[in-house]
């Protein structure tokens, strides 16, 4: 008799919505889904699964572009600032983040004046970013495969050039270098990148590996270092503000007289036509 009464009370609770399952009890209607406790046998409607919205194109993203507001280029810079001489200057680098040629601008003042108009200096990127011991701590020319011979930058990739070979730069009679280079196979980032390595400007001309001796195939017989600096990762500020102020394509590379610095940049008086229009792919052959 007692059992019958209990069963009747349970049926009444279920039909009137008074049934409360124990906490954690999973009650399901096999046909309609889970039952909400305290709501009687009223299943939660289950419809088709809605796809998660996918974000569309965002402003600033096109192909290989990076976040809006970030530069599409990688920049590097290093400063020549010899304490034992008057040599000052800067080397600036620019490369697209997607790769391609690296553009290099080399601007130096305070080199020993020359009576000749064809004085040239070898310039290279060396293995290490240590510029101690008068730049000799920078090690050999940077050569990622470690077995290529020294040569012209035009030979890069043939085994007859190092990644660090940048050829020769000609100075003015007043001891100024202002040159633009385009180096198709130089990288700023990655295992073969030059960031963190040293740029060394030498006192003599680089024979580009044609000197007929073993040192020619290692150093180009370019002589002792004149100055050096370590390439650091930078923003676009230096690239957009050359160390030597230029007026369009006008630059006085040969005039002497007063040479002074303003706002960290070298100011050269006069307006004598500077060879080149924008970036110049210098001829390294000779």
CATH number at residue 99: 2.60.40.200
**pLDDT tens profile 96-107:** 999 999 999 999
Q: Identify the domain containing residue 13 by its residue range.
A: 2-34
Q: Do residues 120 and 14 both lie within one domain? A: no
3-state secondary structure at position 240: helix
Give pLDDT, residue 188: 94
119 and 30 share one domain = no
Higher pLDDT, 265 or 182: 182
The β-bridge relationship of strands 88-96 and 102-109 is: antiparallel
Banded pLDDT at 47 (limits 50, 70, 90): low
Asked if the model's pLDDT at residue 249 lies above 70, the reply is no
The predicted structure's pLDDT at residue 220 = 82
Of all residues in the chain, the percent with pLDDT exceeding 70 is: 58
Confidence (pLDDT) at 262: 36
Contact assessment for residue 175 and residue 115, using Cβ atoms and an 8 Å cutoff: no
pLDDT per position as a tens digit, 153-181: 766 555 576 677 888 999 999 999 999 99
**Residues 83 and 219 grouped into a single domain:** yes
Is residue 207 over pLDDT 80?
A: yes
Rounded to whole angstroms, the Cα distance separating 13 from 19 reads: 5
Specify the length of the chain in residues. 286
Same domain for 121 and 252, yes or no, is: yes
Residue 109: phi, psi to the nearest 5? -130, 165
Nearest-angstrom CA–CA distance, 208 and 222: 9
| Residue 22 pLDDT class (50, 70, 90 cuts) | very low
- Both 236 and 115 in one domain: the answer is yes
Is the domain of 78 the same as that of 168?
yes
User: How many domains, in total, are found in the chain?
Assistant: 2
> Which pLDDT tens digit goes with each residue over 57-90?
443 333 343 444 468 999 999 999 877 789 999 9
Distance CA 94, CA 53 (A): 39
Is there a single domain that holds both residue 115 and residue 237?
yes
Contact assessment for residue 144 and residue 127, using Cβ atoms and an 8 Å cutoff: no
Q: Is the domain of 97 the same as that of 235? A: yes
């Amino acid at each position: 008799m007692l059992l019958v009464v209990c069963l009747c009370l349970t049926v009444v609770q279920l039909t009137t919505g008074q049934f409360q399952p124990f906490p954690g009890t999973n009650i399901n209607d096999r046909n309609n889904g889970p039952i909400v406790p305290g709501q009687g046998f009223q299943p939660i409607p289950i419809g088709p699964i809605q796809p998660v919205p996918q974000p569309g194109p965002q402003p600033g993203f096109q192909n290989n572009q990076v976040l809006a507001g970030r530069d599409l280029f990688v920049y590097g810079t290093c400063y020549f600032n010899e304490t034992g001489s008057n040599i000052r200057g800067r080397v600036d680098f620019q490369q697209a983040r997607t790769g391609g040629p690296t553009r290099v601008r080399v601007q130096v003042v305070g080199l020993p004046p020359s009576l000749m108009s064809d004085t040239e200096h070898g310039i290279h990127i060396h293995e290490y970013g240590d510029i101690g011991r008068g730049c000799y701590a920078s090690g050999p020319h940077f050569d990622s495969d470690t077995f290529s011979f020294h040569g012209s930058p035009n030979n890069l990739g043939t085994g007859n050039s190092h990644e660090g070979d940048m050829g020769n730069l000609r100075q003015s009679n007043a001891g100024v270098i202002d040159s633009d280079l385009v180096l198709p196979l130089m990288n700023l980032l990655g295992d073969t990148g030059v960031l963190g390595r040293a740029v060394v400007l030498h006192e003599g001309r680089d024979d580009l590996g044609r000197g007929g001796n073993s040192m020619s195939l290692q150093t180009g017989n370019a002589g002792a270092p004149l100055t050096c600096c370590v390439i650091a990762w930078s923003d676009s500020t230096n690239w957009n503000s050359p160390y030597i102020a230029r007026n369009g394509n006008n630059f006085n590379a040969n005039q002497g007289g007063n040479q002074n610095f303003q706002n960290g940049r070298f100011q050269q008086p006069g307006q004598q036509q500077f060879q080149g229009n924008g970036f110049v792919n210098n001829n390294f052959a000779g």
